[in-house]
Amino acid sequence: MSRHLQARKRIALIAHDNMKKSLIDWCKENREALAKHELCGTGTTSRLIREETGLPVKSYLSGPLGGDQQIGAALAENKIDMVFFFSDPLTAQPHDPDVKALLRIAQVYDVPIAMNRASANYFITSPLFPEAYDYEPHLVAGR
């Protein structure tokens, strides 16, 4: 089963509390590139990105209230093409099982996921980012 990513990507933006400012700053720096794509995110993160950048970002629930699971379901249904998730590896998260489930689904369906500023910069500067892209995912689920 091959995947076709349109030139206009469907991108999820997620950040743990201590990383929200970093993701918002990154979105400001990359506003022009992100504006060409369909954006969504978990509750507070999506609202803050909208307020701080003016980018249209569809909101799911807050992560601890089920937003991570909603985004995971959208990944499994091929409704999101990639994820930018600025996670905080130094702070325990009360919804850690949900976060792990989201990351697991991204791996199972071979969805690109940037977990920090460095990987996000690689993604957004890749020549594949603004282009349509076909690839044959290595689906763990389809062994």
Residue from 129, 103, 124 nearest 26 by CA: 124
Whether 68 is catalytic: yes
Residue from 136, 112, 132 nearest 122 by CA: 112
Identity of residue 62: S
Choosing from 17, 68, 96, 134, the catalytic residue is 68
Q: What is the C-alpha separation between 129 and 114, in angstroms, rounded?
A: 13
Phi, psi of 27 (to 5 degrees): -65, -40
Tell me if residue 100 falls in helix, strand or coil: helix
Q: What is the C-alpha separation between 86 and 5, in angstroms, rounded?
A: 22
Active site residues: 68
